[in-house]
Amino acid sequence: MATESDISHAHALELFNAKLLDQALAMYEQLFTLDRKDAQAWHMASAIAGMSGDYAAARAYSEQAITLSPQSHGPRLNLANILQASGDIQGALHQFNRALEIKPGDPQTQTDLAGLHARLGEFSMAESLLQSVIQNTPAYANAYNALGNVYRETSRPDAAANCFQQAIRIRPDYVDALCNLGAVLSEQLRFQDADSCYSAALRYQPDNPSILHGYGNLHQSTGNFDKARDCYQQALTQNPADTGLAASLASLYERCGEQESAAALLEPLKESRQLTPDAAITYANLCSKNGNYTAAIQALQDTLETTQSPGKIIDIYFSLGELYDRRGEYDKAFDYFRKANNLDTSSVAVQDYSAFVEVISEFYNSQRWPSLPRSGSKSELPVFIVGMPRTGTSLVEQILASHPQVRPGGERNDIFTIVDSLQTKPGRSRNLQGVLEALTTERLDELSADYLASIESPSEEHMRFTDKTPLHGILLGFINQLLPRSRVIICNRAPLDTCLSIYFHRFNAFQGYARRLDDLGVFYREYYALMEYWINILDINILSIQYEELVKNPDKTIHKLIEFCGLEWDENCLSFYKNKRTVNTPSYNQVRRPIYTSSIERWKNYDKHLKKLRSALNS
């Protein structure tokens, strides 16, 4: 027959499972007050206090549970995670090992221990532990999720995605894995797939602040800043103490030019020494805008001392390089840029790009080109702005976006997505050349209609839509087939300035050539050789502009841009920097300023570091 204590425990557990944590904690505290030897009550009270962030109480409760039941596994594991969360790393390691002595091979304990090793930057140890868990317990979803996080931290996005997908196959409602997969897909520019992950997670837990945080990050990545703001603010309502959320919202405010709002969120974190790496970078950006480089550098250096994540260390190195560049300490700046690029292994080999360019140029040879099919599309809506990154593509789009008849699309992956889909259709060859050879006018009509539907404006006054994706330049032959009446603007800039500016910024894994100066030189040479080839053989409308000419003679060049797009002149295009639209590229600060010439021949400050780059450009 159930005792009164059994009934109370059952009721407390019901409250816990219903996520009524305050009520559950109160009941467990009442239980161990009535019976000081009730180890289970102490253990559950500890778990709830830890979930609520009260680590001091959680530790005290857990230690009491262990005193009462020293050979119980659960309290040991709980204490290990509490100590880890409160920063007692050695204590956590000791308790994890004691838990494994009590229950050898326990998959949850090994997975949590692997998480601690990953936090310490010991990724090989974490990976080894998790591989062992998966081998012994192949249906344990948590291990796949944790291994995916290790792969993501060590710049193996494809392997990470595979792990998250396996975790979801085992547990379709595993929201952490859905969010992690969404984050990886977003980093791979697979934004629609990422959106599907977050949407699925929200169906299971609509108010989960972690899901809302990740969804907000996705919206910020795609330039949907209003949606990002809504997600962050909703998440903060659920979890107002989350410093990572505050950092993300502050970053959004800073990107939108709302400096005071960003500072209001970050100052309390700075005072309490709770700046996360992302928060420290945003704080440094704010200080830099006020000319306070010393405070910016100090904030980043302080954060660097406690940062274990390689990805976050890379971000901090890039920010420090930029700050020292602004202070005129160019050798120190270059050292940080070099450290950042050397640490970043998330790259695609430049040889892979070269092979892709070779396939493209071989297929679109001058003999074959005239006979290739085109769609029958008459649309003049799309304007493709291409060129290497950092050649003024964002500036050109900002100028055009200031015209009332232009709708800016920013960086998009539609064209690459179309090409990828052609290579993965059932029954189709995965060989790119074979896919291009199989294209017909009818198929191109279908594809162009789908693309145009995706960029269609709700406003009838928009006559042009800009697609500012630099690497779409490689696919101009296909774009010519798909949308023969569209326009292309090719942005050019002096090679040394272009390559150095790319080297000074962190790009996604698809811009793998950006990590090494010699690779940059090779890619620049091949990219613009292909652009010259397109200009000579394609029949699409192409305008080639020079960045240096744009900044030296803006009036003349901007008039030429507007005329090329077939639009009536509008004075707003000359004051593009007053346009309040949000820009989601590394150039978001520059396009809010009047045109300046200080970036011309910037390479001279770094001349002694450019031997490999010069050699690659000239070979």
Give 449-452's long-range contacts (Cβ < 8 A, gap of 24+): 449/377, 450/418, 451/382, 451/414, 451/415, 451/418, 451/482, 451/483, 452/377, 452/379, 452/381, 452/382, 452/483
583 contact partners, CB below 8 Å, separation of at least 6: 223, 255, 394, 398, 410, 591, 592
Q: CB atoms < 10 A from the CB of 579, how many? A: 18
* 195-254 confidence digits (pLDDT tens): 999 999 999 999 999 999 999 999 998 888 999 999 999 999 988 888 889 999 999 999
Do the bridges between strand 487-492 and strand 464-467 make them parallel or antiparallel, or are there none, so unpaired? Answer: unpaired
3-state helix, strand and coil shares in percent for the chain, rounded to the nearest 5: 70, 5, 25
- Tokens representing residue 521 in the block: 């030189």
* 86-105 confidence digits (pLDDT tens): 889 899 999 999 999 999 99
- pLDDT of 185 reads 93
* 328-354 confidence digits (pLDDT tens): 999 999 999 999 999 887 655 677 778
- CATH architecture observed for domain 4-248: Alpha Horseshoe (1.25)
- pLDDT of 619 reads 80
- Shortest CA distance to 235 belongs to which of 260, 262, 264, 205? 205
Cα separation of 324 and 71, whole Å? 56
Cα separation of 5 and 44, whole Å? 14
CB 31 within 8 A of CB 15: no
Cα separation of 607 and 274, whole Å? 39
CB 77 within 8 A of CB 47: no
- Tokens representing residue 151 in the block: 């792969």
- Tokens representing residue 568 in the block: 């009536």
Cα separation of 204 and 220, whole Å? 23
Cα separation of 12 and 541, whole Å? 71
Ranges under pLDDT 50 in the chain: 426-429, 587-589, 591-592
- Tokens representing residue 269 in the block: 């974190």
Do the bridges between strand 406-408 and strand 464-467 make them parallel or antiparallel, or are there none, so unpaired? Answer: parallel
Cα separation of 174 and 177, whole Å? 6
* CATH class belonging to 350-618: alpha beta
What is the per-residue burial (b if ≥16 Cβ within 10 Å, else e) of 66-102? Answer: bebbeebbbbbbbbbbbbbebebeebbbebbebbbeb
- pLDDT of 593 reads 53
Q: Range(s) for CATH 1.25.40.10 in the chain?
A: 4-248
Q: Range(s) for CATH 3.40.50.300 in the chain?
A: 350-618
